[in-house]
Amino acid sequence: MRKNIVAGNWKMNNDLSETLSLISEIKQIQNTSGAECMVAPTFINLQSAFETAKGSNIEVVAQNMHFAQNGAYTGEISASMLKSVGVRTVILGHSERREYFHEDDALLKQKVDFALENNMRVIFCFGEKWEDRSADNHFNVVESQIKNALFHLSAESWNSIVLAYEPVWAIGTGQTASPEQAQDMHAFIRGLVEKQYDSSISEDVSILYGGSVKPNNAQEIFGKNDVDGGLIGGAALNAESFMAIVNAF
């Protein structure tokens, strides 16, 4: 049975004191929805965040990860390093990693494989740009991103996969995707997984929406049949707005 999940991707925000303060504030607000609640601070604050979140239902997750266990990869972080500080879930394929750091499907496939080999859960991100949407090519782009990085996986591996659809054109641009557009894409994605595997896997996988979810639109978006939660950016940097989204189910 798929789970409702709300994950706050803090990106390159919050120093150590701000990180600990925000987690402490989130802990003080009751999670009434039962949704899984995740936060993704910067690498250097993961251990302190994990310790601060102990005793709560907040899971601390990583924003990225390298595809090798160790070696001459200056500035990179491995799965074993993340696990050593308590992290068991990693976000891979975020639109900003694809755009600014040129991470392609082949690289992301390596990262996904390595995360799963290390018994980590993956929140795998994908989505189209405005030129794809305006050219009516958005379904093809999303299908390609998912197939290239994930469809080599065994059926069992999908127990550790969470999907996150990000319409890149609706993130920080002032444009917004409608709940109906989100549902249409999520239904399409679920159909792709069913076609490749079977209905039990497609019905069990959680598909998050990452297109500027706010407290004032979360309930309508999460009310759609195939939307199982959100990958939250700016609204996750405020405890009250983030928990309003968590409690929108």
pLDDT at 176 over 80: no
Angle of helix 138-150 relative to helix 105-117, nearest 10 degrees? 40
**Residues with catalytic annotation?**
94, 166
User: How many structural domains compose the chain?
Assistant: 1
- In the predicted structure, residue 203 carries a pLDDT above the cut 90: yes
Q: Can you list the positions of beta strands (E) in the chain?
A: 5-9, 36-40, 58-60, 89-92, 121-126, 161-165, 207-209, 229-232
The DSSP line for 163-201 is EEE--GGGSSSS----HHHHHHHHHHHHHHHHHHS-HHH
pLDDT per residue as tens digits for the range 26-77: 999 999 999 999 999 999 999 999 999 999 999 999 999 999 999 999 999 9
The tokens describing 241, both together, are 């707005």
Q: In the predicted model, is pLDDT for residue 173 greater than 70?
A: no
Q: What percent of the chain is predicted at pLDDT more than 70?
A: 98
As a whole number, the mean pLDDT across the chain is 96
Q: In this predicted model, what pLDDT tens digit does every residue of 103-130 receive, in sequence order?
A: 999 999 999 999 999 999 999 999 999 9
Q: What is the span of the domain harbouring residue 57?
A: 5-246
* CA distances for 120 relative to 91, 113, 131, 154, 216, angstroms: 10, 10, 34, 15, 33
- pLDDT over threshold 90, residue 172: no
Asked whether 19 and 48 are in contact (CB, 8 A), the reply is yes
Cα 161 to Cα 31, 180, 218, distances in angstroms: 23, 24, 23
pLDDT higher than threshold 70 for residue 174: no
Mean pLDDT (whole number) for 188-207 = 98
- Predicted structure pTM score: 0.97
Which CATH number covers residue 154? 3.20.20.70
**Average pLDDT value for residue range 224-232:** 97
Is residue 40 within 8 Å of residue 9, measured between CB atoms? yes
- Look at residue 125 in the predicted model and tell me its pLDDT: 98
The dihedral sign for the CA sequence 42, 46, 52, 56: positive
Q: What is the pLDDT of residue 145?
A: 98
Position 209 scores a pLDDT of 96
The set of residues, in sequence order, having a beta carbon less than 8 Å from that of 48 and lying 6+ positions away, is 16, 19, 20
pLDDT at 212 over 90: no
Q: Residues of the chain with pLDDT > 90: what percent? A: 94
